[in-house]
Amino acid sequence: MTTNGLQHRQTEIPEEINGLRMTRQRQEVYRFLMGERTHPTANEVFMRIKEALPHVSLATVYNCLEALVQHKIIRQVNFDREPSRYCPNLDEHGHFHDETTGTIHDVKFKPGINLTDILDLPPNTVIKDIEITLRGQLA
């Protein structure tokens, strides 16, 4: 029993995630990202959720993405200075950017590997976030 009947055939999204109230706009952004594994840009999210929310604004998409990132519901991914991309995979992982096709693939670490074990960090370092980016091609 849902509180409204609008979301049949769509992924149910709770009213709140990690303390963030999931407004209609945030739901659409999040739902789209969950079903999309191509790491879309803010603009791509905007184009797509306009289908469900024709009056949504690009600023709102940026606001939603920022809120989702800050509440650790999605991750922001940057390649050089290209437009930021967004990723619903919260597991620790890197990104491989295939230069031939332009596609982006998540890269997992081999089991048992702890990133901080292999890095020569200064003592007393508190790591909040790690980003690994690879560029190349699938031969």
Give the residue with the Cβ less far from a copy of itself, 7 or 89: 89
What are the φ and ψ backbone dihedral angles of 76, each rounded to 5 degrees? -95, 135
34/16 Cα distance (integer angstroms): 16
Q: State the amino acid at position 25 in one-letter form.
A: Q
Q: 30, 40, 64, 97: which one contacts DNA (CB under 7 A)?
A: 64
105 belongs to the binding site for a copy of itself (CB under 8 A): yes
- Comparison of 18 and 43: residue with beta carbon closer to DNA: 43
CA proximity to 135, closest of 98, 103, 83, 81: 98
84 counts as binding DNA under rule CB under 7 A: yes
Q: Which is nearer to a copy of itself, 24 or 105 (CB)?
A: 105
Q: Which of residues 55-84 bind a copy of itself (CB under 8 A)?
A: 76, 78, 80-81, 84
- Give the C-alpha separation, 22 to 26, whole Å: 6
Residue 82, Cβ density class (10 Å: 0-12 exposed, 13-18 middle, ≥19 buried): exposed
Which residues make up the interface to DNA (CB under 7 A)?
15, 20-21, 23-26, 41-43, 53, 55-60, 62-64, 66-67, 81, 83-84
